[in-house]
Amino acid sequence: MAIKKVALLTAGGLAPCLSSAVASLLTEYSKVAPEVEIIAYRNGYQGLLSGDSIPITPEIRAKAHLLHSFGGSPIGNSRVKLTNIEDCVARGLVPAGSDPRQVAAAQLIADGVDVLHTIGGDDTNTAAADLSSYLAQNNYDLAVVGLPKTIDNDIYPIAQSLGAWTAADEGARHFSNVVSEHTSNSRMLIVHEVMGRHSGWLTAATAVSYRLLLDEITWIPEFGLTRNHRDVHAVYVPELEVDLAAEATRLSKVLDEVGNVNIFLSEGAGVDAIVEQMRSNGEEIPVDPFGHVKIDKINPGEWFSKQFAPMIKAEKVLVQKSGYFARSAPANAVDQKLIHDCAVVAVRSALDGISGLVGQDQDQGNVIRACEFQRVAGGKPFDTEQVWFEQLLTQINQPKGKPVSAH
Q: Considering only CA atoms, which of 173, 154, 170 is closest in space to residue 71?
A: 170
Q: Considering only CA atoms, which of 237, 184, 192 is closest in space to residue 210?
A: 192
Identify residue 316 by its one-letter amino acid code: K
Are the CB atoms for 206 and 213 separated by under 8 Å? no
pLDDT one-digit tens code per residue, 347-394: 999 999 999 999 999 999 999 999 999 899 988 999 999 999 999 999
Centre a 10 Å sphere on the Cβ of residue 35 and count the other Cβ atoms it contains.
8
How far is it, in rounded angstroms, from Cα 96 to Cα 126?
24
Sort strands 37-41 and 53-55 into parallel, antiparallel or unpaired.
antiparallel
Which residue of the set 122, 152, 154, 169 is catalytic?
152
Are the CB atoms for 167 and 36 separated by under 8 Å? no
Q: CB under 8 Å to 107, separation ≥6 — which residues? A: 48, 49, 51
Is residue 152 flagged as an active site residue? yes
pTM as predicted: 0.93
> CA-based angle 11:78:23, to the nearest 5?
45
Q: Considering only CA atoms, which of 67, 301, 85, 91 is closest in space to residue 175?
A: 301
How far is it, in rounded angstroms, from Cα 239 to Cα 383?
8
> CA-based angle 9:14:19, to the nearest 5?
60
Backbone angles phi, psi at 147, to 5 degrees: -125, 140
Q: Is the dihedral of CA 8, 14, 16, 19 positive or negative?
A: positive
How far is it, in rounded angstroms, from Cα 189 to Cα 233?
10
List, in sequence order, every residue forming a beta bridge with 156; answer none if it has no partner.
377
CA 101 from chain centre, in angstroms, equals 25
Q: CB under 8 Å to 319, separation ≥6 — which residues? A: 190, 191, 193, 299, 301, 302, 305
Centre a 10 Å sphere on the Cβ of residue 19 and count the other Cβ atoms it contains.
25
How far is it, in rounded angstroms, from Cα 335 to Cα 282?
44
Please list the rounded mean pLDDT of every run of 10 residues in the chain (407 residues).
91 95 98 97 96 97 98 94 90 93 92 95 82 83 93 96 98 98 96 93 98 98 95 96 93 97 92 73 74 73 92 97 97 98 98 95 98 92 97 97 74
pLDDT confidence of residue 290: 63
Centre a 10 Å sphere on the Cβ of residue 163 and count the other Cβ atoms it contains.
32
* Residue 12 Ramachandran class (φ > 0 left, ψ -120 to 50 alpha, else beta): left
Instruction: Give the N- to C-terminal CA distance of the chain in Å, as an integer.
Output: 43
Are the CB atoms for 245 and 308 separated by under 8 Å? no
